[in-house]
A and B are shown apart, each in its own frame.
Chain A
Amino acid sequence: MNETILTIKNLSVYFKMGTRITKAVENVDLVLKKGETLALVGESGSGKTVTAMSILKLLPESATYPSGTIEFDKKDCLTISDEEIRKIRGNKIGVIFQQPMTSLNPLHRIGKQLKESIFLHQQFSNSEADERALLWLERVGLKNPSNKLASFPHQLSGGERQRVMIAMALINEPDILIADEPTTALDVTVQAQILNLIRDLQNEMGMAILFITHDLTIVRKIADRVAVMKDGQIVETDLPETIFTKPAHPYTRHLINSEPKGRPDPASEDDATLIKVEHLKVWFPIQKGILRRIVDHVKAVDDISFTIKKGHTLGIVGESGSGKSTTGFAILKLNNSQGKIILGENSLNDMDKLAIRQLRKRMQIIFQDPFGSLNPRMSVSQIIGEGLSVHHPGMTPAQEENEIIAVMEKVGLDPETRQRYPNEFSGGQHQRIAIARALILKPEFMVLDEPTSSLDRSVQFQVLELLKKLQKEFHLTYIFISHDLKVVKSLCHDIVVMKDGVIVETGDSDKIFSHPEHDYTRQLIATAFQGQQF
C-alpha cells in the first residue's frame, strides 16, 4: 500500500503564445502511492488540471516543460515517445473529465465508445468485448445496461454519462485514475453516488486516484492525502485532518476560512410582506405534429405559493431542473406565468408590459454566469448606467456619472476603471459590476440566481459578504436561488425547498436545518453537510 507508483519532480509547465509566456505550473513535487487517493485542491487558475494533464501529455501544442520529470513505471512520461505514451493512456492511467457531455462523442453509441477503449489496448474478439462492456456498465451501476449499450450520449442523464465515463476510464483496469473535477457539473445527490462508486471501485481494484477538485467537502469525504495548489505551486501537502484542523500555510487557512459560515443578520418577524406568490404556474407547451398541436406541457413550476417579508432573504433550494430559476424569472416577469404575483400593492400578472417596465426599477436580478450577463462591447460605466437612461431620463450626464461612481465605490470597484471593458475584470468583479448595475436603480428587492456558483470559494465569500452588507444598508429583500445548502444557510432567513416544480418544504431556516421534515430535504442536508457538525 505504501509503494509509490507516480513521482512528479520539480515539474514546470509554461505556455508559449507568440511572445507571451504563461507560467501555469512552477516546480511542483507530487508523489502518488499505490491504492491511495490524493486530492489536488486549488482555485481556478491554480494549475491543478495542467499538472494532471501533463502526466499523460494531454496539453495543447503551446505547452512547454522547462523542467521536471514525471516518473511512472520506471519511465519519464515527459520524454518517452508518442507511441509509448499512447500505450499508457487508457491502459495504465485512466482519466475522467469534468464535463460528461462533451467528453463523450455524441455521434457514437455508448457501446461503441466503450469497446473502442478495449480494442485499443487488448486483444479481444467482438463478442468478448461486448461482454466486458456490459459487465462494466453493470459495475458502475447503470440501470438497464443492455439498453444503454445501444444508446447515444444525449439519451442519458448527466449522472449516467459520468458513470459511462468512469466505465471507459476503468475498463482496462488501470493503476492510476486521474479524476478532473468529475462531479462539479452534477447535482448534489448524484455527486454523492458517483463519489461512492469511485471509492468502491478503488477498494475493489486497489488503484490510486489523483482527484482534482476545488470543493473541500469532497476532499473531506474521500482523500487520504491533500495537496494544495496556488498560482502554479504546491503550498502544502498533508493528511486531511491536519489540513482542516491545523493548516500550516496562510493560503490553506484562507481557503478553509472561505467556507460559507455564520448565520444571516436576524430579521424581525413583524416586517411587512413585500412579495406574495399565489398558485404560480409556469408551463411550457409541447407542440407536436404538422399543425403544432399542444399535446402536453413541461410543468417547470407547478402551483407554488409563498410570501417574502421586507428585509428578509428567502432561499429557494433545489437541484437542477427543480424550477428554482424559473420561479425567480417568473416573479420578475421575465417569462410568462399563471397565478398571482403581488409586489407591494401591484399584481404583476394583471399589468400590461409598459406598466411592468416602469416597475422594473423596484425589482432587479443578478444572473448565474457573471460574464455572460455583461455585454462585452460596452464599457463598465455604460453597463452600470444603462438602467439610469431608462428610469431617470431627466438626469444630466454629469449626474449619471456621479451616480455610477458612487455605486461602484459601494460595491468595492475602483471608479477609475469604469471605462474598461468586462473582459479586463475577474469573475468576482463581474458579479460586482452586475450588482452595481442592479443597485444603481435603488431597487426594493433582488433575485439572486446562483450568483456565486461559478466563482471560487474565496471570491464567493467576498461577494456574499458584500450582499449581506448591502442588504443591511439599503434594507433590501433578496430571493437567493441556489443548490448549495452551505451558502443558503449562511445567508437566508426563510427557505423554500423545491423538487420537480413543487415546493416540498418551507419554513424558517433555523427550523429547516435543525428539524427537516421531508425526506428530500433531509437527503439534501445530509449530502451537503456530510462529515461535519452543524
Chain B
Amino acid sequence: MPVKKINLKKFRLSKINQERWNRFRSNKRGYIGLYLFSILFVLTLFSELISNDKPLLIYYDSSFYCPLVKEYAETQFGGEFEAAADYRDPYVIELINKKGWMINPVIPFSYNTINYNLKGPAPSPPSKTNWLGTDDRGRDVVARLLYGFRISVFFGLTLTICSSAIGIVAGALQGYYGGTVDIFGQRFIEIWSSLPTLFLLIILSSVVQPNFWWLLGITLMFGWMSLVGVVRAEFLRGRNFEYVTAAKALGLSDTKIIFRHVLPNAMVASITFMPFILGGSITTLTSLDFLGFGLPVGSPSLGELLAQGKANMQAPWLGLSAFILLSLMFSLLVFIGEGVRDAFDPRKVY
C-alpha cells in the first residue's frame, strides 16, 4: 500500500475530517443548504453595496467620488447648501448628471431611508420602486430584510462562537477534574440557568439603551450553558480511556492531555450541536426584537418586521416576507445541522 504523504500545511484536514467533509458533501440537502446559506450570508455582507441610498461611485467634473466612504456636501457638486448631499433628491441627481455620471446600487434604499414619494400611506404595497413594499415608516422592506438578515446572522454567529467557547471550557474542566470542581460547577450552572434572561433584559433596557453589544453580552452571560452538559459527559467518559492514562504515564501535563487527547472526542458532539445553537441564537434576537426589547429603534431587524406585520395585518407583505425569510433561514440551518450530525456519526467511523 503506497504511503500517503501527509502535508503539514495548516489548512489540510486530517484524514478523519476529510472523510467527514466528504460524507457531508454527499448529503445533498445539507450541502445545498450550506451552499445557499453561505451565498445569502455573503450577499448580505455586501448589503451596503447592494442596497444603499448613496451611489457607489460618482464621476463628476473629471474626478471620482466615493460617497460610501466619505461624506460630501451638496456644494461639492455645485449645489447651494452646505448640508450633506441627498443623492435621492432629483435636484442633486440633475447636478451630478450634468457634469458626470453616478453608479447607483441595485436597490436605491438603505435600511433607514424613508421613501417620501409613496403613492399611498405607509405601509405601501410592493411596487416597481419598492419591490416588497415599505414598512409602516416608509422604509423599503427588501433593504430592511437584507440588513436585518446580516445583523441576525452576525449576532447568532458571535453568540454561538462565544457561548460554545465558554461552555466547552466549563464542561471540560468539570468533566476532567470531577470531584468538587464538578459539584460546585454543576450547582452553579443549575442556579444560573434558572435566571430569567428576558426579565433581566427588560430591566436593562429601562436603565440603558441596549445596543448590539449589550444584547450580546447579556445573552452570552446567561446563555453559555448549552454545551456544558455534552462536553462534560464526553470528558467524564474520555478521561478513563487507556490512551489518556498512557499520556499521563508519558508525563504530559493535564492541559496537554485535555487538548490533545480528550477534547477532540468532545468536539464531535459540540460541532454537531452548533448549527442548532446558531438557529437558537438567531431566534433569541428575533424574539427580543419582536417584543421590543432588542436592538434600538431604527435598527434593521427581522423580529421588528414581524412585529410590524402583526400590527399591520392589512399589509401582508410585511409579515409574509419576514416569515418567509426566517423560515428559509431556519430550514437551511436545520438541514445543515442534520448533515453535520450524519457526517459526524461515530458509528460510521472506524
Find out whether the CB atom of B6 lies under 8 angstroms from the CB atom of A379. yes
Instruction: Tell me how many residues of A have a C-beta within 8 Å of chain B.
Output: 30
The answer to whether B243 has its CB under 8 Å from any CB of chain A is yes
Contact mask for chain A residues 347-371; partner B; CB cutoff 8 A; 1 contact, 0 none: 0000000000110110011010100
Q: A437 contacts B243, CB within 8 Å?
A: no
Q: Chain B contacts of A441 at CB under 8 A?
A: 250
Name the B residues within 8 Å of A372 (CB-CB): 241-243
A361 — which chain B residues lie within 8 A by C-beta? 251
List A376-399 residues whose CB lies under 8 Å from chain B.
376-377, 379, 386-387, 390-391
Q: Indicate whether A367 sits within 8 Å of B245 (C-beta atoms), given known contacts A416-B3, A417-B3.
A: yes
> Do the beta carbons of A360 and B243 come within 8 Å of each other?
no
Residue in chain A with minimal CB distance to B8: A397
The CA-CA distance from A473 to B241 in the complex, in Å, is 32
A364, B248: Cα distance in complex, Å: 10
- A360 contacts B242, C-beta separation under 8 Å: no
Q: In the complex, what's the smallest C-beta–C-beta distance from A394 to chain B, in angstroms?
A: 16
- Contact residues in A for B199 (Cβ distance below 8 Å): none
Cβ contacts under 8 Å, B264 to chain A = 377
A332 touches B251 (CB 8 A): no
Q: CA–CA, A325 to B80, complex, Å?
A: 93
Query: Could you tell me if B251 and A373 are in contact, using CB atoms closer than 8 angstroms?
Result: no
Q: Tell me the nearest residue of chain A to B243, going by C-beta.
A: A375
CB distance from A210 to the nearest CB of B (A): 33
Q: Give the residue name and chain of the A residue nearest to B265 (CB).
A: A377
Residue among A367, A369, A386, A417 with max Cβ neighbours from chain B (10 Å): A386
Contact between B249 and A364, CB atoms less than 8 A apart: yes
Question: How far does the Cβ of A332 sit from chain B's closest Cβ, in whole Å?
Answer: 6
On chain B, the residues within 8 Å of A437 by CB distance are 246, 250
B284 → chain A closest CB, angstroms: 34
Considering only CB atoms, which chain B residue lies closest to A358 in the complex?
A: B251
Q: Is B250 touching A375 in the complex (CB atoms < 8 A)? A: no
User: Does chain A have a CB within 8 A of B23?
Assistant: no
**Shortest CB distance A40–B (Å):** 30
State whether A390 touches B251 (Cβ < 8 A). yes
A386–B3 CB distance below 8 A:
no
A334 at the interface (CB under 8 A from B): yes
Taking the closest CB of chain A, its distance from the CB of B346, in whole angstroms, is 11
Distance between Cα atoms of A450 and B244 in the complex (Å): 18
Cβ-defined partner of B14 (8 Å) among A367, A377, A391: A377
B interface residues, how many (CB within 8 angstroms): 24
The verdict on A423 contacting B245 (CB below 8 Å), with A360-B251, A387-B250, A416-B3 known, is no
Asked whether B153 is an interface residue with its Cβ less than 8 Å from the other chain, the reply is: no
Q: Does B63 contact A (CB under 8 A)?
A: no
CA distance A266 to B350 in the complex (A): 44
Tell me how far the C-beta of A341 lies from the nearest C-beta in chain B, rounded to whole angstroms: 15
Q: Is the CB of B246 within 8 A of A419?
A: no
Interface assignment of A306: CB less than 8 Å from any CB of chain B = no
Query: Distance in Å from the Cβ of B90 to the closest Cβ of chain A?
Result: 66
Per-position binary interface string of chain B over residues 255-281, scored 1 when its CB falls under 8 Å from any chain A CB and 0 otherwise: 010001100100000000000000000
Residues of B within 8 A of A390 (CB): 250-253, 256
A340 to B241, CA, bound (A): 28
Q: Closest residue to B264 on the A side, CB-wise? A: A377
B247 near A386 with CB under 8 A, answer yes
A374 located at the interface, meaning its Cβ lies under 8 Å from any Cβ of chain B in the complex: yes
* Chain A residues within 8 Å of B6, by CB: 379, 419
Q: Is the CB of B249 within 8 A of A334?
A: yes
CB pair B246–A367 under 8 Å, yes or no, is yes
Closest B residue by C-beta to A417: B3
User: Does A72 interact with chain B (Cβ within 8 Å)?
Assistant: no
Look across to chain A and name the residue whose beta carbon is closest to the beta carbon of B253.
A357
Is the beta-carbon distance between B251 and A391 smaller than 8 angstroms?
yes
Give complex CA distance A165, B343 in Å.
Answer: 41
Report the minimal beta-carbon distance from B250 to chain A, rounded to whole angstroms: 4
Q: How many Å lie between the Cα of A120 and that of B33 in the bound state? A: 53
A357 close to B241 (CB less than 8 A):
no
B4 within 8 A of A: yes
Sort A-B residue pairs by CB-CB distance and give the 4 closest, nearest first. Answer: A360-B251, A372-B242, A387-B250, A375-B243
Question: Can you report 13 residue pairs joining A to B where beta carbons are below 8 Å apart?
Answer: A334-B249, A357-B251, A357-B253, A358-B251, A360-B249, A372-B241, A372-B242, A373-B242, A374-B243, A390-B250, A390-B251, A390-B256, A441-B250
